[in-house]
Chain A
Amino acid sequence: MNFIEKALANLSATRQRGPRNFQAQNQYRAQWIYYTPPGFRDEPFDVAWSFTINNNGNPYKNNPVQLDDDAPYIVRGFYCPNLLNNGSAELYDANTPSNALSSAITYNFGGFGFGPFTWPMEPELYCNPGALLMIDFQLNNGGGTTTLSGCFLGVKRRKEC
């Protein structure tokens, strides 16, 4: 194990321990602490996407965001600044079948990722390697098209060598 690998391993080990009495299943944990299982290392990774949608009031379902197949991906944040005042959307997790993250198509994702902030995904979403994250859009009927872009923020969970 070279110096960098040792440093990464130490960093990972530090995160695994967490604060005293920390329990991963505790729903009231601080948002910054996430449990990395022993033998794994989390690596920051962001997934950017962009879709061009017609402004005609119709729903456009199942727009796919393809995830890499080299490691599981864990979503911890979401960002989409340009749906505000434009329409509604619905986000799904990567299960099969997928779970919707809102009970219906929702104005501006219900707040996910609006404005200059990244929205925390709490609790985090675990996605298998190569999974798809789906998004539905429904924009107002102002005519023309809108290019919507955004980003999932999170980590790839890699095995320790």
Chain B
Amino acid sequence: MIERHQDYQLNIPTLPAGGLANVELLLDSDAAFAARLVKQRYTPGAPSGGWAYRFRAPSGGYESNAHRFDTFGRGTLLEGNPLYPQMIYPANGSIVVDIKNVTGVQQTNVKLLFRGSKLYPDGSMPAPTYPAVCSILPQVLPVQVLNIPQNTGAGILNNQINAQIDWDFALRYANADPFSPTGGNGTYDQLYVQLKDQTQKPFSNVPIHIDDLFGSQSSTATGSTTTNPFWPGLFLPEIYVPANGILYFDIFRSDVAGGNVTMQFSFGGAKVYRR
């Protein structure tokens, strides 16, 4: 079995006052999906808990007896709700979700994120990994993206994360912070990133909000209406990039305020020297 990190996000541009039922999140046709975490992204400006959800397991039954928030039971507001044991959905399948609007008024930009792994049969795709003999060191690859404008339209595409000629890179975590060395940085609210491998195959079905995909080094909000997670975003399993390999990421921003933002992305993990 080959595992590959994967995020599936359900985007609901407009949530009616009465909520929605049987919304299908379509899964890719190339692999089954093992869901291990579900996480709400609250509507900017709306009070926490503005909407609740429930979804169907692969068997067709619901995962909960009623609509729920992340904070019910095992989950927390910032970390989402872990699914254990994992729930494996077939390739080309769908996750059927019901959304309940508890505010009584229409909401916009509602998002529900499922994190987990795609599951491929052995030999069906390249899966580089550690050599038999190697030396490993902690490593961070920083990428600074200057002056991201408020509305990027088609996005700032194909920003690169490079492994070097003499070592492989195992990506295990990442964080992102707005910081300009010269001061006067703006703030973001709607900033999304889609991570892709060397063949431009993405690790998510749509761009994911950076507060969900990455962590932040700041303990408080940096423009987002929710407090950023105070720890890095994790990739499970880790993403292994062979020497000379590249990861790409696309940036999309749809803010109407906040000014230009300079973002400091840090991709961390280990560098692996072959011996």
Contact = CB atoms under 8 A, between A and B. Distances in A.
Nearest to B169: A103
Give the interface SS of chain A, mostly helix, strand, loop or mixed: loop
A85 B218 contact: yes
Interface in B149-196: 162, 164, 173, 175, 177, 179, 181-183
A27 interface: yes
A103 B270 contact: no
A100 to B, nearest CB: 8
A117 interface: yes
A114 interface: yes
B137 A93 contact: yes
Contact of A102 (B139, B175, B182): B139
In this complex, the interface size class of chain A, counting residues with CB under 8 Å from chain B, is 20 to 34
Contact of B141 (A57, A102, A138, A142): A102
Contacts of B179: 85, 107-108
A84 B216 CA distance: 11
A57 B181 contact: yes
Interface string B234-275: 000000000000000000000000000000101010100000
Contacts of A122: 138, 270
A4 B173 CA distance: 41
A123 B138 contact: yes
Given A106-B266, A107-B266, A108-B177, A115 B217 contact: yes
B264 to A, nearest CB: 4
Interface in A128-147: 138, 140-142
A124 B4 CA distance: 26
A123 B217 contact: no
B175 A115 contact: no
A121 B136 CA distance: 12
Contacts, number: 81
A27 B266 contact: no
Given A103-B142, A111-B268, A87 B137 contact: no
A154 to B, nearest CB: 13
B239 to A, nearest CB: 14
Interface in B26-40: none
A123 B177 CA distance: 25
A99 B166 CA distance: 13
A109 B270 contact: no
A84 B217 contact: yes
Contacts of B138: 101, 121-123, 125
A88 interface: yes
A107 B264 contact: yes
Nearest to A107: B264
A11 interface: no
A1 to B, nearest CB: 36
Contact of B181 (A84, A102, A123, A140): A140
Nearest to B138: A101
A111 B181 contact: no
Contacts of B215: 111
Contacts of B264: 106-108
6 contacts: A104-B142, A106-B142, A110-B268, A125-B138, A140-B181, A140-B183
Counting from the closest, the 8 A-B pairs by CB-CB distance are A110-B140, A110-B266, A107-B264, A102-B140, A106-B142, A114-B217, A111-B175, A103-B141
Interface of A: 27, 57, 84-85, 87-88, 93, 99, 101-112, 114-115, 117, 121-123, 125, 138, 140-142
Given A103-B162, A111-B175, 16 more contacts: A84-B217, A85-B179, A85-B218, A101-B140, A102-B141, A103-B139, A103-B141, A107-B144, A111-B173, A111-B268, A115-B217, A115-B230, A121-B138, A125-B138, A140-B182, A141-B182
